[in-house]
Chain A
């Protein structure tokens, strides 16, 4: 071989080698392995024996059926409201729809009711009385309320004996209203037989109001005490005794008239 060709050949080879060495120094041999690459789990493939194969098929099948079951459950609208049994089911979005915020829960603090009973009006006999009331329950103990009632009255003994008439027929009608504050006392349970239990409580009210009787509006102090039985959360029954006190001046001199009514009725909570 010609020496020149030999030298050129060697030169090329040496150049190539130098280049390759420099190139090796410049570029890293291998990129720094990332954490992911390092932590890729080594999957050990367990050889499946032939008898295991059927088991595997079974397992796969049961998994499939479970999946379809889940699908069916999701499609069933009745299942949507089912409460999550565990805390981990907390994020199931389907059950959010039917529920409401606790602040929007129906509150039953207003009580509206009616009553019927008898009222004794001093000097003017005992007659049926009826009316209605509304209470607002501020706490479990305190409520404020307004009440209206009306009754008619009879002739006084004096009128009966003398034949004189003190009042016209219109003046003989009595109507009253009062605004009161009430207190629930002695809460407890009452029982009927073995299976029924009802919440109950005594209450007392005190109020001021006006009574229209004998042609005038008369300032009236009133107080009452009663017993209430809660039949349902929204329904209650009560019996009460109420005193109405006002001044009257039609029988010669001014005197305080004490009038007691005994009444019972139902009320509904809203």
Chain B
């Protein structure tokens, strides 16, 4: 109970607290009770007032006024403040430009591998706007087996900032960028325990891949991928399988 009370008590202001000073330049600044547009506005800071910016949560900034009132201000309104040097505050909000120039990308995908459900997680490193390398870890769960895959590939994205519907209403800003690549990896097939005489198999695989990315908002993008995989089995014939996945990713 004591711990619970301590948790509920307002946090003491630390002496070594780090914050940024900005000056309100818009006619006023709305202070919300929480980091969201739906939380009520309970106070207003006026033009010329200096505010401390303490922290951020998604697109919201927690600020403190001189009279110790604390509240949450939207990114749009913080962008209308001036810093100590009298310059407009620059907010590096992840936007389309940052998306095109991203370095890291991680994502989760779900799809289908010859009838089995695939769950995939991946991380990508972008060497240039066009060329990237991805590391995938996948698990496919079918009626007869569980399949585990780990793979690495090289991806070429010829038109990273393509807006194919430019000029059309509604969808003119939609970015869909195709990509293709090649890769290799290992695949492990574990037959179901209920099957008779289950034998584990591990093989190497090579694949070609093609797909498209679509920028959604902030750090968010959607990704569709098709893979044509050749499993290099120890038998006389190689297996060919196809995999479709769709998922969401964030970039840094």
A positions within 8 Å CB-CB of B: 83-85, 87, 90, 95-96, 98-109, 136-140, 142, 144, 146, 179, 181, 184, 187-189, 196-197, 199, 201, 208-210, 214-219, 230-233, 235, 247, 249-250, 254, 269
Contacts and interface: CB of A to CB of B under 8 A. Distances in A.
B110 interface: yes
Contacts of A254: 143
Interface string B36-50: 111110000000101
Contacts of B37: 140
A144 to B, nearest CB: 6
A210 B119 contact: yes
Given A99-B20, A102-B22, A210-B119, A139 B91 contact: no
A137 B54 contact: no
Given A140-B58, A144-B248, A179-B119, A105 B192 contact: no
A209 B220 CA distance: 21
Interface of B: 7-8, 11, 18-23, 33-40, 48, 50, 52-62, 66, 78, 83-84, 86, 89-92, 108, 110, 116-117, 119, 121, 139, 141, 143, 146, 190, 192-194, 217-220, 248, 250
Nearest to B94: A138
Contacts of A140: 35-37, 57-60
B31 to A, nearest CB: 14
Contacts of B48: 87
Given A96-B84, A232-B7, A102 B53 contact: yes
A247 B23 CA distance: 59
A214 B91 CA distance: 52
Determine chain A's interface SS by DSSP, over half rule: strand
Nearest to B40: A189
Contacts of B20: 99-102, 104-105
A201 B38 CA distance: 11
A137 B57 CA distance: 8
B121 A106 contact: no
B171 to A, nearest CB: 21
A103 B90 contact: yes
A102 B91 contact: yes
Contact of A249 (B34, B146, B194): B194
A192 to B, nearest CB: 9
23 contacts: A83-B50, A84-B50, A99-B18, A100-B20, A106-B54, A106-B55, A108-B56, A108-B57, A109-B56, A109-B57, A138-B219, A139-B59, A139-B220, A140-B37, A140-B58, A142-B220, A144-B248, A144-B250, A189-B39, A219-B116, A231-B7, A235-B7, A250-B194
